[in-house]
Amino acid sequence: MTWLQHLTDELTARGIRGQDRRRIVSELRDHIACEPESVERLGDPTELAGIFADELATSRTRRAAWHAFAALSTAAAVLVSSQIALAHAGGYPGFNHGLSLALFLPALVGMLIAPQVALVSGTLAVARTLRRRRLSRMPAAEIGLVERRTRVALGAGFATIGGLEIYVLNFSARLPAWWLGTVGGLGLAAGAALVWATRSLAGARTLVSATPGGAGDIYDDLPAIGFSWLRGSTWRLGALASVLVAALMTAFEAHAERSLAEGVQRGIVEGVAAAIGFALLGRMIGVASPARRQARRAVVSSALDSVLGALPGPAGHRVGDAERDHAEHVVRASYAEGRLALEELSARIEAIHAARTLGELRATVADLPDVL
């Protein structure tokens, strides 16, 4: 088998097809044609295909998350403007004035619950790609997490648009034709944008990435400072978030309806819905993952033990050059693998040399999984 054939097969195996594969293969064919002996120096085709696939998967997934975010923003704009326009269309007809309650209820779920799921999941997806924007190869597990978040967000986006269309249908006899036509049409346009984003995600998902490393968790999305007391229990975080949205909803509705009782009632419903959403989807979108986090901690600490194991000791013990060299090696290996940006590398190395205790030293390598 020729080198080029081998490369073609490896690219196919990693999900690189069509135009992308043709381009890579013909560039390398030209390379070999320029100097036939250079084939010896091109390197291992398996490894090369792996680099292509890992980098392409990273950039396509990142792009898909942003495409989804753009499409969801369109859907949100349609939803919000439909409700604003409602005031000019004679106002909300009331739930018992539609065609059927069987239409009203799914419309309500789609228009109230689904957008919130889409907002949280879609924002988390782009938040992670922003945090990792300097990485040319995100760990495969992390790519999977961004893809799941994007998928959940898009699913919720479709539910939102579906709900809106059902709403249009339900009140087709009550609301003016201009409102029904405009909202129905814009809803379809937003649906088309969602289909486009879904195709972008599907394109990213065909690529097989194999970059080692962990998926990270919700604490990788939140700013590091101020959230440390929430570490260790994502359930505490979920409860706090639910209470927070319940309080916000209470304040908002109490103001909008000019009735505290009404506000509290809706706030409670909102809080319960948020808690249910957290319980159902939390694990999938990498928000609730106590088990995985503990597992990762165990891996990191056992790996650290093996690295720093030459001179194990409590966190307060003073460090020597041997441990510093070990830690520096770990950080440099991570940089080589694209886990750290150059600025981060120098910051970490500074921190390593400034570390006086084992605890301080461990902190400089604690978030670098699998490299040891």
Partner 1 sequence: MILATLLDDPAHGYAILARLRERSSGTFDLAEGTIYPALHRLERDGLLSSSWSSESGRRRRVYELTRRGRAALQERRQEWRHFSRAVEAVLG
Chosen residue from 45, 214, 216, 286 binding partner 1 by CB under 8 A: 45
User: Which range touches partner 1 (CB under 8 A), out of 51-59, 92-100, 238-246, 303-311?
Assistant: 51-59
Q: Interface with partner 1 includes 44 (CB under 8 A)?
A: yes
**Pattern of binders to partner 1 over 134-163, x per CB under 8 A?**
--x---------------------------
Least distance to partner 1, CB of residue 225, Å? 28
Q: Interface with partner 1 includes 27 (CB under 8 A)?
A: yes
Chosen residue from 18, 30, 177, 223 binding partner 1 by CB under 8 A: 30
**Pattern of binders to partner 1 over 255-294, x per CB under 8 A?**
----------------------------------------
Q: Interface with partner 1 includes 177 (CB under 8 A)?
A: no
User: Which range touches partner 1 (CB under 8 A), out of 21-29, 197-205, 206-214, 348-356?
Assistant: 21-29
Least distance to partner 1, CB of residue 134, Å? 11
C-beta closer to partner 1: residue 138 or 154: 138
C-beta closer to partner 1: residue 38 or 206: 38
Q: Interface with partner 1 includes 37 (CB under 8 A)?
A: no
Q: Interface with partner 1 includes 23 (CB under 8 A)?
A: yes
Chosen residue from 10, 55, 142, 147 binding partner 1 by CB under 8 A: 55
CA separation for the pair 263, 250 (Å, rounded): 4
Q: Interface with partner 1 includes 41 (CB under 8 A)?
A: yes
Whether residue 201 contacts residue 7, with contact meaning beta carbons closer than 8 Å, is answered with no
Least distance to partner 1, CB of residue 342, Å? 9
Nearest to 159 by CA among 123, 119, 130, 204: 119
Least distance to partner 1, CB of residue 101, Å? 51
Least distance to partner 1, CB of residue 230, Å? 35
C-beta closer to partner 1: residue 32 or 169: 32
User: Which range touches partner 1 (CB under 8 A), out of 50-58, 149-157, 277-285, 352-360?
Assistant: 50-58
Q: Interface with partner 1 includes 34 (CB under 8 A)?
A: yes
Number of chain residues interacting with partner 1 (CB under 8 A): 24
Give phi and psi for 105, each to the nearest 5: -65, -50
Whether residue 249 contacts residue 271, with contact meaning beta carbons closer than 8 Å, is answered with yes
Chosen residue from 8, 10, 11, 48 binding partner 1 by CB under 8 A: 48
What are 318's strand-pairing partners? 357
Chosen residue from 52, 66, 104, 179 binding partner 1 by CB under 8 A: 52
CA separation for the pair 55, 49 (Å, rounded): 10
CA separation for the pair 349, 337 (Å, rounded): 16
User: Which range touches partner 1 (CB under 8 A), out of 49-57, 100-108, 171-179, 218-226?
Assistant: 49-57
HEC profile for the chain?
CCHHHHHHHHHHHCCCCHHHHHHHHHHHHHHHHHCHHHHHHCCCHHHHHHHHHHHHHHHHHHHHHHHHHHHHHHHHHHHHHHHHHHHHHCCCCCHHHCCCHHHHHHHHHHHHCHHHHHHHHHHHHHHHHHHCCCCCCCCHHHHHHHHHHHHHHHHHHHHHHHHHHHHHHHCCCCCCHHHHHHHHHHHHHHHHHHHHHHHHHHHHHCCCCCCCCCCCCHHHCCCCCCCHHHCCCHHHHHHHHHHHHHHHHHHHHHHHHCCHHHHHHHHHHHHHHHHHHHHHHCCCCCCCCHHHHHHHHHHHHHHHHHHHHHCCCCCCCECCHHHHHHHHHHHHHHHHCCCCCHHHHHHHHHHHHHCCEHHHHHHHHCCCCCCC
Least distance to partner 1, CB of residue 365, Å? 24
- Residues near partner 1 (CB under 8 A): 23-24, 26-28, 30-31, 33-35, 38, 41-45, 47-48, 51-52, 55-56, 59, 136
